[in-house]
Structures are given as structure tokens and as C-alpha cells.
Amino acid sequence: MALAKRIIPCLDVENGRVVKGVQFVDIRDAGDPVEVAKRYDEQGADEITFLDITATHEGRDTMVHTVEKMASQVFIPLTVGGGIRTCDDIRTMLNAGADKVSINSAAVKNPDFVREAAERFGSQCIVVAIDAKKVSQPGEEDKWEIFTHGGRKPTGLDAVEWAKKMVALGAGEILLTSMDQDGVKNGYDIGVTRAISEAVNVPVIASGGVGNLDHLVEGCIEGKADAVLAASIFHFNEYTVPEAKQYMRDKGIEVRL
Amino acid sequence: MATVAVIDYGMGNLHSVSKALEHVSPGTEVIVTADPEKVRNADRVILPGVGAIRDCMAEIRRLGVDKEVAEAIASGKPFLGICVGYQALMQDSEENNGVDCLAHFDGHVKYFGDDLTENGERLKVPHMGWNEVYHDDHPLWEGIEDGSRFYFVHSYYVKADQRDLVSATCTYGLEFDVAIARDNVFAVQFHPEKSSKVGLQLLQNFLNWDGKR
């Protein structure tokens, strides 16, 4: 028996509300992140990720209250990402009850921030989020680059080298989103997932592009991811978390049922 | 009102532990504190902890938490160690080039290693996620099925010398001790406050426990 592969539903939260909505047949207000998180906990989700897409300062205060509320009602690990730029941001979220924070563009801007954060709060709560896009042409050796600004801005940084550097600086986990796949529902980019998972000694969460349960299986088996993150397939009741887990178990993957 | 003191030495997510306790037992007063008087007066005591052991031990000694722990253990009241609060009860840890701990139990805290494998697969360190816990019949496991999965985050593991004190084990490349029990003391490596239903059940059992095996 072994450590279970984790299934992590991800919620985009704006001004304290889940955006794009989440449909559960039996909860009245599916826009409340706390209600949604509770339901995923009951279904057996292994963790929850809140991605704060709020632009305003006031909205960010709302997020802190949302995290506080969730932490007093849902007892599985919670990661908060989006707009984490300073050690004060991290302290605020951890004090509110988050277990981990995910750092994205602030790490690209200043890699040393990751070292500072890991030294201060411990690697176990520092997740570095990487948005990678394939830049090699067919026939060339595979190469992926880091992009920022929702995949619009190339950075010239090699994704695998970047992941290794982030871990060396203290990242305790890598949240890898393959941009060319994201939202397309063609599955994770298995190549980059596997390349990074084999290159680092910390857990890697695969994200981006999940359209069906086989994609979760591929992410774990071929991509060698330690956890799989998905949004829309769970939010719109295409599949429930228990269905996903049963399917993965049938394919020989260790899960928590 | 029954009281439980969660010892606050500035390390770790005390919010989660106290919220989980309040959730399972609204009738219990949860006091997050480092004040020796409050710890002394509490009916039960919890020593949590997250982060590097050197920093944790430094704060434990600086704030006199070592004495509070010794006194609580000697008093016979139910005592629960969690994660680094479990490791701190052992003799020493390999982390940070070797750190002396509180030595309430004989045994050591060791590194999982960089070449950990299971069935030919390389294993990541930290051991992060949900793993199966196999336990004995201590009252804190009441209502929790053998082999239930709990949530872990750690790179160092406990190996106790007195095997008869080991209450539960887990396997991650190697078998290690995830719970230890002696008289009124119980300590666990995983995070019950983050382990959903089974974790809450264990905390509930702790609040119901009379401190006897």
C-alpha cells in the first residue's frame, strides 16, 4: 500500500464568490466558496485550492474572511493562490487558516522571494505555481517555457530548469499548469508534467486541460504527477470526486476512498 | 466548562487545531496560550508544531514550554503531541545537522533520505498527502478503521526504541512510527486537524479520553 494520489478541486474566487459557478444539485448557494469546499470535503476531495482572481484591495480583504470561514468548517488542506507577493501576504493567509500558499508571478519577478518565504514559513507551505507552454516545433527536442500574464507573456525561462531552481530555493511543491492545454480539455501536457516530476524531488500537481477521467489517470501514470488538480469537470457535475477516484482505482492508482 | 490548552510557541497553524477542536466539541473551551498558569489549569494539553525542528526547539526552550510539557506529562492529564510536537518528545532529530529534543521517549527522528523507493518507484520527500495508518486498540483510535488514511506533511520520521509504546505505523519506502502512547501521553505524526472525518474522530476521542490506556 502506498501514499494516495491526491485529487484537488480548484475554485476561482473573486470578491469572495466562486466565479463561473459550481453546480451541485443539492446546495442552494453554489457561489459560496465555503459551501462548495464543504461539499467537496464530503465527497472525499483530498485538498482544496482557492485561486483568488480579485483585482481590488477590498476584494482581497474579503478573501481573507473567506479563508477564515473555510478553515473553521472544512478540515482538509487548503492552498490559496493569486496575488501572493510579499511575506506579509503569506502571513495573512496562513493566519487566516490556509495551509499553503501558491506563488506565481512574484517568483518570476524575484526568485529570491521563494527562498525568503521558505526560510520564514517552512517549505511545506510554499507552493510555486508554474505556467508552462511548449515552444519547441514538431521534430525538435521538447522544450517548454515559462509564461506569465495568463500565458500571454513569454519569459525566456526553461520550465524544467525553472522548476529545479524553485525547489533549490525552497519550494515544497510545484503546481504545474500546462498553458497550451488549459481550458481546451485535451488533457494535461504529459511531456512537461513528466519532465518536471522526474527532475525534482518534491511533489508535483498537474493542472490544466482536464476534460475527462482518463486525463487524471494519464497525469498520474504517464505524467508521474503526485496530485491532479481540476476545476470544471467537478464544478459542473460532469463527474463527482468519488467517481473520479473509483475510476483511478480501477486503473490501478492508489487513492483515498 | 472543560478546557484544552493548545500550547502556542509561535510555530505552526494553531488556528486549524483550535478550530477543529471547537468543531468537534462546542462545549470545550480551547485556549491557545504559552502562559504556564493557563496550561497548568487546563484539563487537557496539546503540543502542536510545524516547521524546522531547530527553530521549534529554540522557541520551546526560550518560552519555557519544555517545563510546561514536562509538568503536563507528569500531572497525568491527557496530553497530545502533533507533528513536530510529536517529534519534539523524542531524544533527538537528524534535522538541521542534529538537534536535541525533550527526550520524554527513547527514540530518534530520522531523515527519509534522497533515494527512497517503493516497488521500484522513486518516492518524493516530503512525505505529503494521505497515507494508511495501522493502529492498535488505544482509546484514541475508537471508531477509526484500521488502515484509515490520514494527512501527512514531513521529511523526518520517528523510530521509537520501546516498541511496546508504538500505537500506530505507516509505510513510505520504509515502516515508521506515526503514533506513540504511554499512560496519559499520546502523540501523532500526521495532522488530525487536516484529516477530515477520521482526524476529527481522533480529536473527539482525545477530548473524551480519561488519560488511561
- Residues 6 or more apart from B165 whose CB is under 8 A from it? B105, B180, B181, B182
pLDDT at A1 over 60: no
The amino acid occupying position B34 is: A
B68 pLDDT tier (thresholds 50, 70, 90): very high
B114 at A interface, C-beta within 8 A: yes
Which residue in the set A77, A95, A124 is minimally distant from B126, CB to CB? A124
The residue of B145, B153, B191 whose CB has the most chain A CBs within 10 angstroms, and thus the best one to mutate to test that interface, is B153
Within 115-134 of B, beta carbons closer than 8 Å to A belong to 118-119, 123-132
DSSP state of B97: G
CA distance B88 to B48: 10
CA distance A133 to B112: 34
Q: Distances in Å between the alpha carbon of A119 and those of A59, A191, A217, B136?
A: 29, 31, 35, 37
pTM for the model? 0.95
pLDDT at A23 over 80: no
CA distance B175 to A142: 39
CB contacts, 8 Å: A99 with chain B? 13, 16, 194
pLDDT at B12 over 70: no
Average pLDDT, chain A: 91
Percent of chain B with pLDDT over 90: 88
Q: How far is A197 from chain B (nearest CA, A)?
A: 9
The residue of A67, A256, A257 whose CB has the most chain B CBs within 10 angstroms, and thus the best one to mutate to test that interface, is A256
Mean pLDDT for the stretch of residues B160-177: 97
pLDDT at A231 over 90: no
Tracing cell 510545524 back to the chain, one arrives at B50
Give CA B81 to chain center in angstroms: 3
Q: Are strands B79-82 and B29-33 parallel, antiparallel or unpaired?
A: unpaired
B169 at A interface, C-beta within 8 A: no
Joined together, the cell numbers standing for residue B1 give 466548562
Question: pLDDT of A83-140, one tens digit each?
Answer: 899 999 999 999 898 999 999 989 999 999 999 999 888 899 999 999 999 999 989 9
- Residues 6 or more apart from B65 whose CB is under 8 A from it? B7, B9, B34, B47, B59
**Which chain B residue is nearest to residue A172, measuring alpha carbons?**
B126
B193 catalytic residue (yes or no): yes
pLDDT at B95 over 60: yes
Give CA A74 to chain center in angstroms: 18
| A201·B114 Cβ contact <8 A | yes
Question: pLDDT of B102-129, one tens digit each?
Answer: 999 999 999 999 889 998 888 999 999 9
B213 pLDDT tier (thresholds 50, 70, 90): confident
The amino acid occupying position B20 is: A
A25 pLDDT tier (thresholds 50, 70, 90): low
pLDDT at B178 over 90: yes
Tracing cell 481590488 back to the chain, one arrives at A56
> CB of B213 within 8 A of CB of B181?
yes
CA distance A38 to A36: 5
* From A37-46, B7-16, B36-45, the region with the lowest mean pLDDT: B7-16
Average pLDDT, chain B: 95
pLDDT for A182 = 64
> CB of B79 within 8 A of CB of B184?
yes
pLDDT for B85 = 96
A51 pLDDT tier (thresholds 50, 70, 90): very high
pLDDT for B72 = 98
DSSP code string of chain A: --PPPEEEEEEEEETTEESS----TT-S-TT-HHHHHHHHHHHT-S-EEEEE---SHHHHHHHHHHHHHHHTT--S-EEEESS--SHHHHHHHHHHT-SEEEE-HHHHH-THHHHHHHHHH-GGGEEEEEEEEE-SPTTSPP-EEEEETTTTEEEEEEHHHHHHHHHHHT-SEEEEEETTTTTTTS---HHHHHHHHHH-SS-EEEES---SHHHHHHHHHTS--SEEEESHHHHTTSS-HHHHHHHHHHTT-----
Cβ burial A58-80 (10 Å sphere, 16+ → b, else e): ebbebbbebbbbbbbebbbbbbb
Mean pLDDT for the stretch of residues B33-44: 96
pLDDT for B121 = 87
pLDDT for B165 = 97
A58 pLDDT tier (thresholds 50, 70, 90): confident
In angstroms and rounded to an integer, the radius of gyration of the C-alpha atoms of chain B is 16
Mean pLDDT for the stretch of residues B137-164: 97
The complex's ipTM works out to 0.93
Catalytic residue among B56, B83, B101, B170: B83
Mean pLDDT for the stretch of residues B21-36: 95
pLDDT at A59 over 80: no
